[in-house]
Every structure is written in structure tokens, then in C-alpha cells.
Structure 1
């Protein structure tokens, strides 16, 4: 399905937002109480759209990849997030207006101000090249636009420094963001007041468990920890075999500093996360060959660090070979993420994968790529794909004493020889008393070369060992070093984790922007070109009128569509058929069927396609079969037109 209609009116965000509000896709929560920033309620169409995205996500990932699905708790005891590092590190940098006290996220402030100045520079340069003569209407229009955009031409070196800073922005620390505010004289754009030095703000919502508050807790900021804490059970469920993946869809909470971008930055949201557990010595993927030729648009860390945003197109096979993407499994999921986003309607020309730079990398990650989708606010991270290594399982195992490991029976036992220290513990204790344990621990920590040297020295008599400046004389009767043979039949290791993490609200909103347009002849009423797979309503059933003689056919068509698993709605209101179709184009309904007098007499029915407004006609059963194939993705509209003749508009003859 085309993402840009050639006869479409230019994108108008204000009209889209008016449509989404008027048709209740979503709205601010608690609106009649004044609302709370960053909290939204989804209406009928928004809820169904999200449910359809989730249903397709389940098919694309859980079913296709045979994943193990989880549903773990939202409320989480504090020790879990203390161990995972979230209590110490899950934070953003904020600044305050020195006069009003308004709080602003520091990196967003720098980004918005510098981008606004560059936009003003671009406009000012455009004005400088404008024709000398302008009529009064053009002058007034330009003057108001200039005032709004604060058009000021920048020196070339200043503009370049802004561009370099924006390319590197995600890599700056709090102190560096503060330095940027001073260097570029960045103020609160709403008040023109100075701002404070950046302060770290933890994004988790704190709470307590139990009536006395003796168990501090947090609302989870991600669903991932539920996977890690249940790893042993998941491994057992999977018959002890790795690799395998678990998946979860659920609510997460982040106490955003200043949520101002609708669904793109909220405090409560739905996430879909996958944790793919893999052998750290083998991060290949058995299905990588199927994806290796998928071409992605990449923005790697080295390009960004150099102050550039040049994109490259590259197959994931080549990216892995060149070491741009760390391993096959990470690249495989990036390709699968790309295909999923295209399937639900994201414009591939406005989709890229950006690699995290060193300073912005999460504390648990060794490599991470964000699927960023371009929208009216710029590029927005909608999916993260990270190699979390063994961090999470390791820290939780160390904290709890519960081994979160894989025990793998080896096909061929591994036979090794090594030097082993053997102590006469009774004599050692009598000789060195409280230092005996320290001495034993030190010797056991020596590597093979050091033990061999110690063995040679003991063969010649006593030797000395120095620990923290203290000298110990060791006689052969206290310690022997012998070479022993070991046979290993079991390999024990902590698996690594590859994690794709989806922000469904962000994906939903960018999808709405990508699919919204309006016809030149009806600018006020928009169209959402949602693919049938995610459209809230698949088919609109339109009786010519509300006359009772149409009721049996309406019921028959509704019933047959239901049995085919296709969600439909009936609109028998007294407005014109054209208006009924137009208001359902706003809801993204891809197909409409009309029941008229010819339907009653001949059992025929017309089908209309939303984007082209093309209409075809056939028997009721033929049309239902065509609609079923269209909705299930078996055919497209071009193929449907080959199976059904065009509707010439003369079948609806009133009796």
C-alpha cells in the first residue's frame, strides 16, 4: 500500500490531531479533572488498533519464533531493581527554570533550542535569496512566519557546531549538557529565563508493598526483570535447551520529567519485550540465512561520534561480516523488527536503525540499536534491540545465591591437566593461625604458571610468599603442588541475552502519522490508510437505507463476515452513502460493501476500496470471499479487481 497519495493534500498535523481527538482514538486521561501530563486513555478505535498491532506482533514473533510467553507482575520489590542497577542508574538529566521552577529534560531542551535556531537560519537564508519585489500579502505572511520561527542567520561555523552537537547529543553526560547550555546560551524557550545545572532524576515510580510499608517497591519501568527471575523455570520448561526466547506484553511505568509529545512520551505505556537466551560462545542464529539479504538503513556509532548523521544502506549479512552489527542473532532480530514495522504500515523511507554511542549505552548492554521512526517531531526511538550480555542473570544470581545457569551435557568429555595445590590444613592452621585462610585463598587464586613456579621452589625446599607486605615461609610439609587430570562431562555457563523491546504507543502514533492524508477535494476530512491487518474495522456494511427489506441481507453478510473472523460494522444512518464512507475513511476502514435493491433482487453486492474509492461488484458470496482474502493478505486490490468487474453505478434500481 502506497504511503503517499499523489492527489493528497500536504500533511497537516493539526488536522490529524483534531481527527484523533474527534474520533476518540485516544484522549488525555482524567480530562474533566484537568488531566495529568503523560497519561492517556485509548478510545474504541485506538484500543482496537493497538490490539491488532499486538495480535500481529504475537504472530510475527511468538508464533513464528516459537517463543515462551510470560505475564509477570508490575509491582516489584526494591531489591530486584537495586540489583539490576535501575535504582542507581535508570535516570535522565533535568534542568529548572531559575525563576519559575519549571522542569525541563536537559537533552530535549538542548535539542529543541538548537533545532529551532537551525530552522530559523534556514528560513533567514531563504529570505536573503528571495526576489526583491513582494506584494503586501506576501510580506505580512512572511513577517508573521519569521516572528514565529525567530529567523536569524547564523555564522557558518556556528551552524556547523550546532549540527555536530545534535549528532552527538545522546552521548553527552549531565555535566556536558550543562556546559552546552552555557556555551550556546540555551534558556527556557517559554520564558527566556536561564536554567540550572542538570540534575539526575530517577524515572521509576516508588511505592510500598504491605500495610505497614515495610517492603519498598517500584512500578516496573520495563518487563525484562520478570524474564530473568524466572529463567530457571523457563529453561526447565524448554527441556534445558538453549537458545530459546521468552516474550511478554504488558504495562510499564516511567516518571518522565516533562512529557509533552502526546503518545511519544508518556508515563504509563504498553511494552512488548523479547529476551532471547543464547550461548555466549555461539551467537549465530539458525535462521540468519533467511534474513541476511534484508537491507537496513543504518546510523552507526562512529558516524555519530564524528558529528555526522550520514546514513548507509546495507544488508545485515554485510553488516555482521564488517563488524558493524555485533553478531548474527542481534542482526537477525533487527531484520525481523524491520519486516514487522513494514507489515503494519510504517513507511520504510522514514525508518532507520541508530546504534547507541558509548556514553548512552545502558549499563547492561554491550551493543544496542534503536529502530527510529521519523515523524513530525523528528526521529523517535520506537524499538530497542540490545545485546545485554550476561549482566542480568549474573547479578541476580550473585544477590540471591540461586544459580541462573545452563548445564549442558557435552557430547565428548573435555580432558584437561592442571596444577593443583594441596594443603596440610592441620599443620597450616597451627603454623599460621588466623592467617592460614588468607594464605590458602591466595595460593588457590594463582594461575597455572605461578603454581608451576611454586612447585619447582618447593621441590628444592622451603619458599616464601608475600601477601600485602607480609612474608610467609612455606615448607614442603605444609603445601604440595601436584599435576592432576580432570574429565569434564558437563559445561556450565551463564547465557547471554538479546533483547528486542517495543514501545507500542510510539509505534501506534507514528503509524497514524505515516498513514494519514486528506483528499484535495475534501481537506477537512482525513483518510487513514491503515493496512487491513491492523485496521480497527475491516469492513463497513452500508445498506442503501434503513428500510426493513435490507435487514435479512445485512444480517446474513454480518454473520458470514463474523464466521470468517472479520470485524465489521453496520452504518444504516440517514446520511448519504458518500458521507458514511468518508467518515469511516477517517477511522481507517479499508473496505466497504453496499447493499441496495439489486442486492435484494439479484444477491449482488458492491465493494469499495478506501484509498482509490474504486468500486467492484459481484455476488454476495464472491464479495465476501474477496474481502476475506484481502483482509488475510492473500491478495491485494489489483488482484481483487481481476476477479470482480467494475461497478458502473446502475445496479441500484429502486423497486
Structure 2
């Protein structure tokens, strides 16, 4: 392996990522970026803890996300609870449809996620056996589309390929849906069921009216939330990629479906991105098309300008965070894999050592969620648009005799009143027409998952009709949702930033904004005569907002450079005897290992500007004299 060439390039092939993986994993473990949770008890699959450098990198990643999206786009950030009552996820569709297909070992009952089991079997078969070209083609097609298969299709593939339980070699049962949400009772009685949220999105939908009011009733606007999500994954795998507890950063951009244009689309319209369309996957060869976002919108490839705008902004964020731009593609969901809430969806997929994987979902959720929660809660979640001209409209107000309804229908009365109070103007008019010719009307309601028919007597409902001039009309906003898997992006950044000087000296070349610590302070030897200079540097760097780490252990300076490199610290300040004479230090950059001589009074501003991306290392090299360390000090 040519380490020098690998360090210089900006893109890695899948093979190169695989070749470096064992060195990468060794560094992650040795320097405690993250590890499996409850390690001393044997660990638990799908649960991970972040160590000090990993925690710092994750926090810097989230800081950049806030700056890139929340601050630049004037988004409204909220923080909602992780525990969510049952009715919310019943209304959202998660109770019925948030599932993966699972197959069980027919003898011991061990569960396996069906699509991942098939994928792993195919990967092993392709790597170990000599197959005919037509067999390879068939297996690769199955692997590409397996996530879209129905239960029957997956069962047929398992039978055809002769796939057995990987642990025992036993037969596998028929694929069955497994709900991924963690259930939990709320309160000591256990009578209020709930779930740990699998996404943060619902907290923004149920608070839509408050957010809309806070924003002065102006549409479009975006809400954002960073927080934990929980999914009881059948088959956690690939480190932080598929876990059971994870950080999410989600945006819900609410807009008028009659005005899907975005005022800032012009700033991203010329971005040419690799798009893997649904059509290419379903009817073509699965090839990626390079296309500008403007071309994608005009051709109907992407649903609208607002959707395309967030695809572009997501790409720019990933690149700024340290993901190699040539290892990113955007894949459109095929019709048979679309989430229950989406009418169009694109994934930002990043290439890892184990292939391209979804890290950001960008869904057009249309009005699904706000309509679902209106129906489920009985509270209207609406926005308003100004009319070009005032118009006269008929208003129907319904009054229900709730006391008598509850008395007559008992527990069913609450569901009935909630249903009627959620009616649209058209539904109110239709109901009034029914009561004009009937003494009672039958309604279909659902109480605790049981469907019922109830009768409402005419005497318990009244209608008041009036006319008024309307300046605006109500509508249900549509939603574009970019959903970021923080741990997945974190993993991609580390893989793409990993470098090797040789097999023993490995390090991370991270963007300074993402680095866990921006600068190291290294006296050339450990001696008390350098303490005042260390103190001055530490205080000065802290005042300009630059994090730093002092390493004054007795190890050789070259060894200490290597230790700070392993943590991805981009810059190192070295104190030597000249520092005591002329108040200057050397400043070293991690990738090139070049050093300059610079006055202490200059170094604070220079390191701060380098860390913020305001200047480049090349510009610093051009301004300050190059310093040549002794052979014993070289890294």
C-alpha cells in the first residue's frame, strides 16, 4: 500500500477504505473515540459510548450543523421529550407501520433481520465462490433491491438460495413484521402506554400551532431539533451505523404547497450532484447521473425547488464537515420502499468501507403528519395564506351538547366529539345536510383499537350558518424533512479523515472546525523553565476561543507529535530555548508536518483564524519563516 499517495488524495475507493480498516479500528479503540456500551459486562449490541475525543468531535459536528442550518436559515429550534404517549405514534402511523421484516430460527427462536441476512449471505457468496456471470448479475440485483421486497419475496429468496440461520444452521421461518419502537408504560399505574421516540419529528408536528404563532403566522418556516432517537434494531451492525440509541438532527420545513419555490434556491441551483434515480434502479442499470439541481427540478426528478434546495445544502454541509465529496451520492427511494409518510424521498448516501450507506434522509412528507395529528387529536393544525381579493364565505359553527353526549355514550362520547370538532368546512356542510333529513346520524369511531358505530341524535347537535368576508384562507402546510443520522456522519468523517504515515503512525486529518482539540502545547522537553510560557499560551488561546491540550510528559517530542496527531489535533505549538530568548514559538500543521517560527503574540490570532477556516496553512507558510527541526525532533 502506498501510504503517501493515499494521504494526498481527496477520495478513496471502497477497496482502499477496506485495506485501511484494521488500522482505523485499532486507532479508534486505542485512543477511545468510542466503544461498545457496558464493555466490562460483555457489551450490548447496538449501544455505544463516546470517549473524550469522540464526544468533542460529535459536539463540534452539531455546532457546525446549528451554524449551517439553524442560524443561517433562521430556523426555530425546540427540544421535545423522548417519551411519547401511544396516541401520538398511533396517529403518525408508527404503531402500525414502523416495522422491519424478521425471520426466526425455527428451533431456538433467535431473530434476524431478513434483508440484512440476505445481503450478508450474498456478499459472502460473491467473495468466496467462482460464479457464472449470469449468477453474479442475479445476486447483485437481489442485493440492490432486497430492502424493497415484500415478506413473500424475501421468503422466496431465502428458500431459493438455501439461507439458514447463521448461528445454528437451522431452518428459518416466514418473515414477520417486527415493530422497532421501544415500548414503555408512563406512570406507576401502567395504564398510559408510550414509546421512546424513534425520531424527533413528531415533537415538531404536534407543536406546529405554537411554532406558527411564534413565527407570526408566516409560512414558510422551519423547525429544528437535535436529540436522541431509539430503535429496537433486529440486527445492529457496522459500529455506529445501525444502533439502538442514537443522536439525530432533524428539520421540518413547512411551506405552502401552492408555492413550493425557495427564495434561496438560486444559490445552489448550479450544484452538479450524483443522483441515483428511482427510474434508474427500477428499470435501468442502476447508474448514477450527474445533474445540476436546477435540471433535476425542471425535469421532475426532484419534487420541487424547496426539496432540491435542502439536498444542495445537505451536500455542502457534509463536505464542510469532512466527508469526501466524491464519496457522496443521492439515491431516490423506489415506490415500493417509500416510507408511509413520504411522497418523495432522497437519501444522502456516503461510501464507507462496507459500501454506500444512508446517512441523511430528505423526505417530502407532504401534509401527511399534520393531517394525521389533526385527525388523531381533534385539534386543527393549519396555516393561512392571504387572498388576492377578499371573498364572501359561508361559515358553519357546530355546537355539541357534550354533557348529554357523554351521558348517553359514556367513553365513546369523547371520541365522537373529537371526531366532529376536527371536521373541515366541507365535512361540516355534509353533516348538516344529513341532519336536515334524519333524526340521528351514524358515525364510525375507534376506541382503544376497537372500531364502533355510534348514533348521534339530532337533539344533541346544532348548526349556526353565517356569512363573512374572508381575507385569508386556511390550508395544511406541506413538509420537507432533512433527517441527519449524527453517528453515521461522525463515522464517515473519521473513515474519510484517517491517514497513515506508515503502519505504526496513523492519524486523523480532520477539518479544524470538527477536530476535538484545535491545538497542542508541547515544550521541547519537560522542564519547569517552560512553565510560564505554557501558562501564557494556554491563557491566550483560551481567550480567543481555541481549545488546547498541554503534553509535557517526558517522552521525546516526536513521540508527542505522533500522540496528538492520533487525536486529530491539527496544530501544535512547540516551546524551546529560543522561546525564552525572543518570545517566539514554532507552529506545526498535522498533514504536512511543516513548522514555522512565529511570535507568541501572533500565534493566538493565527491559530484562531486557522481553526475557523478564515486563513489557510499555505498563507501562513508564505508569511512566516519555515523552521527546520533537528532530526531527533522530526515526526
TM-score range, shorter chain: 0.7 to 0.9
Q: Trace 1:447-526 onto structure 2 (pairs within 5 A).
A: 488-520=470-502, 523-526=503-506
Q: CA deviation at 1:610?
A: 0.5
The answer to whether structure 1 residue 376 and structure 2 residue 356 are counterparts is: no
Equivalent residue for 2:63?
55
Equivalent residue for 1:560?
540
Equivalent residue for 1:332?
309
Equivalent residue for 1:619?
599
Instruction: Quickly say closer, same or farther: Cα 1:365–1:112, change in 2 above 3 A.
Output: same
Q: CA deviation at 1:236?
A: 0.5
Q: CA deviation at 1:3?
A: 10
The answer to whether structure 1 residue 40 and structure 2 residue 48 are counterparts is: yes
Instruction: Quickly say closer, same or farther: Cα 1:625–1:442, change in 2 above 3 A.
Output: closer
592-601 or 624-633, larger mean C-alpha shift: 624-633
172-181 or 362-371, larger mean C-alpha shift: 172-181
Q: CA deviation at 1:195?
A: 1.8
Equivalent residue for 2:517?
537
Equivalent residue for 1:75?
83
Match of 1:547 among 520, 527, 538: 527
Whether the aligned pair in 2 keeps the contact of 1:413 and 1:487 (CA below 8 Å) is yes
Whether the aligned pair in 1 keeps the contact of 2:544 and 2:605 (CA below 8 Å) is no
Q: CA deviation at 1:648?
A: 2.5
- Alpha-carbon distance in structure 2 between the residues aligned to 1:297 and 1:99: 46
Q: CA deviation at 1:101?
A: 3.3
The answer to whether structure 1 residue 635 and structure 2 residue 615 are counterparts is: yes
Q: CA deviation at 1:167?
A: 2.5
SS in 1 for 2:384: strand
Match of 1:349 among 323, 326, 350: 326
The answer to whether structure 1 residue 236 and structure 2 residue 218 are counterparts is: no
Cα deviation, 1:486-536, whole Å, max 9, x if unaligned, reads 85422100101100000101111111111112113xx12311111101000
- Alpha-carbon distance in structure 2 between the residues aligned to 1:321 and 1:362: 25
The answer to whether structure 1 residue 322 and structure 2 residue 330 are counterparts is: no
Instruction: Quickly say closer, same or farther: Cα 1:519–1:99, change in 2 above 3 A.
Output: farther
Q: CA deviation at 1:408?
A: 3.0
The answer to whether structure 1 residue 264 and structure 2 residue 241 are counterparts is: yes
Equivalent residue for 2:341?
364
- Alpha-carbon distance in structure 2 between the residues aligned to 1:199 and 1:209: 28
Aligned residues: 561
Q: CA deviation at 1:321?
A: 0.6
Whether the aligned pair in 1 keeps the contact of 2:220 and 2:253 (CA below 8 Å) is yes
Q: CA deviation at 1:159?
A: 1.3
The answer to whether structure 1 residue 185 and structure 2 residue 167 are counterparts is: no
SS in 1 for 2:331: strand
TM-score for the superposition, normalised by structure 1: 0.82
Equivalent residue for 1:252?
229
Q: CA deviation at 1:264?
A: 0.6
542-551 or 360-369, larger mean C-alpha shift: 542-551
- Alpha-carbon distance in structure 1 between the residues aligned to 2:341 and 2:580: 65
Q: CA deviation at 1:185?
A: 2.1
Equivalent residue for 1:648?
628
SS in 1 for 2:81: coil
Q: CA deviation at 1:56?
A: 0.3
- Alpha-carbon distance in structure 2 between the residues aligned to 1:495 and 1:74: 25
The answer to whether structure 1 residue 85 and structure 2 residue 65 are counterparts is: no
Cα deviation, 1:568-603, whole Å, max 9, x if unaligned, reads 000000001111010111111111010111011011
- Alpha-carbon distance in structure 2 between the residues aligned to 1:158 and 1:307: 18
- Alpha-carbon distance in structure 1 between the residues aligned to 2:314 and 2:71: 15
SS in 2 for 1:370: strand
Instruction: Quickly say closer, same or farther: Cα 1:394–1:577, change in 2 above 3 A.
Output: same
TM-score for the superposition, normalised by structure 2: 0.85
The answer to whether structure 1 residue 589 and structure 2 residue 569 are counterparts is: yes
Whether the aligned pair in 1 keeps the contact of 2:570 and 2:590 (CA below 8 Å) is yes
Q: Trace 1:69-468 onto structure 2 (pairs within 5 A).
A: 69-118=77-126, 120=127, 151-306=128-283, 308-414=285-391
Equivalent residue for 2:401?
none
Structure 2 residues not aligned, in runs of 5+: 397-425, 434-465
- Alpha-carbon distance in structure 1 between the residues aligned to 2:520 and 2:428: 79
173-182 or 364-373, larger mean C-alpha shift: 173-182
289-298 or 303-312, larger mean C-alpha shift: 303-312
Whether the aligned pair in 2 keeps the contact of 1:168 and 1:307 (CA below 8 Å) is no
Whether the aligned pair in 1 keeps the contact of 2:88 and 2:376 (CA below 8 Å) is no
Q: CA deviation at 1:652?
A: 12
Whether the aligned pair in 1 keeps the contact of 2:558 and 2:632 (CA below 8 Å) is no
Q: CA deviation at 1:444?
A: 6.1
- Alpha-carbon distance in structure 2 between the residues aligned to 1:102 and 1:524: 41
- Alpha-carbon distance in structure 1 between the residues aligned to 2:209 and 2:109: 48
537-546 or 47-56, larger mean C-alpha shift: 537-546
376-385 or 56-65, larger mean C-alpha shift: 376-385
Larger Cα Rg: Structure 1 or Structure 2?
Answer: 1
- Alpha-carbon distance in structure 2 between the residues aligned to 1:415 and 1:117: 70
SS in 1 for 2:496: helix
SS in 2 for 1:540: strand
Equivalent residue for 1:5?
7
